[in-house]
Chain A
Amino acid sequence: MSQKPTMPTDFTEIPPQISEFRRIIRVLFGRRLVVFGMIVILAAIIAAIFASVLAPYHPYKQDLDKALLQPGQEHILGTDALGRDTLSRIIYGTRTSLMVGIVSIFIAALIGMTMGLIAGYFGGITNTIIMRFIDSLMSFPMMLLALTIAALLGGGLKNIMIAIGISMTSVYARLMFGQVLTVKESDYVLAARTIGGNNFRIMIRHVVPNCFPPLIVLITMNMGMAILAEAGLSFLGIGIEPPGAAWGAMVNEGYRYLLKIPVLSFAPGFAIMLVVFAFNMVGDGLRDALDPRLRGTL
């Protein structure tokens, strides 16, 4: 008896015969905003690494004779109240923003995923306690939680990264927890168990890799959120210590001279927006390219 191949009902769902990797690249580069976002991120990374080469002046160099200059030939974006070059400080501020973004997301993902893994793996009372703990963490507004943790630890860039990291753990815990529950019931885990794989090995080998597509999307999207949170905290005066350059703190400093030199607070705010927008667009693009089912859930 010959069996007819089952016909796919919806042809748009089945891409033509191309490799997964090429399909992802095609979706990503097919969108102008995603390409724009990638260019901005690349530029930000270059600015952060080569800040000392790119910046026209030293970011901490004070020159009180040239304080509060309007944008002009010598200082493209003017100078602040201490005579420091705004453009140079914005370029150096890229370092702060990217570093806080990367490190705090790393902390969030590490703690969150471990908690989610433990909760899903052990189940029962451990699960209840950990997941309710995560719920409790989620019931503090992120800004307030990060502020409180930062106050507890004392300011400084390192503590800000920990504070933002902790306040973002819950999403990662939930992601991991959901994945563990799904994968635990799957046939291949049963197969792995029958050939004698122990639980720990199964979790690491089968559960963790399954989280990768949503994890990459989540990390990219949360980069923007972490950068925004850092900007907010440094705007409030908590975070990097002077004379370090952070965009949020620069917006706050410029706010005092809003009428005289508006660019002083406009420019760093625009930098924040540009970078956050870039991460959000690339995150959206990655979500649609890697796993369209996630649309609307992340």
Chain B
Amino acid sequence: MAAYIRRRLIQAVFVLIIVSMMVFIVIRLMPGDPILIYLAQQEMQNLTKEQIEQARHEFGLDKPLMLQYIDWISSLFHGEFGTSLFYREEVSKLIIQRLPITLHLGLLAFVISTILGITAGMLAALTRGRWLDTLMTLLANLGITVPIFWLGILMIFLFGLRLGLLPIFGYTSPFDGFWLSMKQLIMPVCCLAIFPLASSARQTRSSMLEVMRQDYIRTAWSKGLKERVIVMRHILKNGLIPVITLKGMSLSQILGGSVLIETVFNIPGMGRLSVEALLSKDYAIIQAVVFLTAIMVVLVNLVVDISYGWLDPRIRYS
């Protein structure tokens, strides 16, 4: 197990290095000279050529790309992400304001989709071919299909505008107003949860059905074990292993979905921030948001992989 964890850790570090290089290179490829953008931002356009070169030198932008990359990485370790052109604020400050909002929504969606998804998939597999299974399967198939921004708009129309039950936009911290916060969260969290919920239901159902056909399940039945024991200890435990890999990916889906959902519900989180940054070509923010998101996904996948190896010893040796 220790060797497996070590191997996965090295792999994750390697992936993170490549991720950081990709982000660095992509941002450098973006149209627009960063030094001119910065000077424009400082309202110092009327500089001579020498002065611009001087500024370029001060910021280390005349160094070779490799050295610039090392500079960038070391500034990241100091929590310096640069200054936003659009918001005229430190990027790290903006992120500290907005990341908790996205994580609040995302984690709720993650937990809800995991619990409900696995339960629904399990029920469907156990009632295979009956109406409950047909219903669950159909709902799951619709859930992986529906455009979430459109679902958000439908919900706003029905629950917000027609029935007047829920507020249609905004975000309130639960510490400022618990009930308002809860009410505002219901619709966006449902929209974020729907895809991972449906896909884990589908995956749970099909992998449980796969396990049910195995010889060791037949053995378990024939040696007279109780149904509950067979379902919980044998079918579910083995059937859930592929679902765990899927859960690792669902965080990435939720973070990607928050780009859309935060726009629909006007929630000031990271997703909204990245859309605004991309539309206003605010590279400092894009760089920080994309990199941080990738780090989160890599770390979650690392945890998933390690728990996967712990649950299924066969993985460790492959």
Contact = CB atoms under 8 A, between A and B. Distances in A.
A277 B141 contact: yes
Interface stretch (B57-65, B66-74, B81-89, B286-294): B286-294
A224 B147 CA distance: 10
Q: Which of A136, A139, A248 has the most CB of B within 10 A?
A: A139
Interface of A: 33, 132-133, 135-145, 147-152, 154, 224, 228, 231-232, 235-238, 248, 251, 255, 258-259, 262, 265-266, 269, 272-273, 276-277, 280-281, 284, 295-297
Contacts of A145: 290
A292 B14 CA distance: 35
Nearest to A297: B242
17 contacts: A132-B14, A140-B252, A141-B293, A142-B256, A143-B256, A144-B259, A147-B259, A148-B278, A148-B286, A228-B145, A232-B149, A248-B147, A258-B153, A265-B150, A269-B147, A272-B147, A296-B242
A108 B313 CA distance: 34
A143 B147 contact: no
A277 B206 contact: no
B253 A139 contact: no
Shortest Cβ-Cβ A-B pairs, 5 listed: A141-B256, A269-B150, A143-B256, A136-B18, A151-B278
Given A142-B256, A151-B281, 16 more contacts: A132-B15, A135-B11, A135-B18, A136-B15, A136-B18, A136-B294, A139-B19, A140-B252, A144-B274, A147-B275, A236-B259, A251-B150, A262-B157, A276-B147, A277-B145, A296-B242
B144 interface: yes
Interface stretch (B22-30, B43-51, B112-120): B22-30
Interface residues of B, number: 50
B293 A144 contact: yes
A255 B153 contact: yes
B210 interface: yes
Interface in B240-293: 242, 252-253, 255-257, 259-260, 263-264, 274-275, 278-279, 281, 286, 289-290, 293
B149 A251 contact: yes
A17 B289 CA distance: 58
Q: Which of A154, A259, A262 has the most CB of B within 10 A?
A: A262
B178 to A, nearest CB: 29
B186 interface: no
A276 B206 CA distance: 21
B278 A147 contact: yes
Given A135-B15, A139-B19, A258-B161, A280 B144 contact: yes
Contacts of A133: 18
A251 B153 CA distance: 9
B146 interface: yes
Contacts of A265: 150, 153
B297 interface: yes
Contact of B294 (A33, A139, A147): A139
A199 B294 CA distance: 37
B154 interface: yes
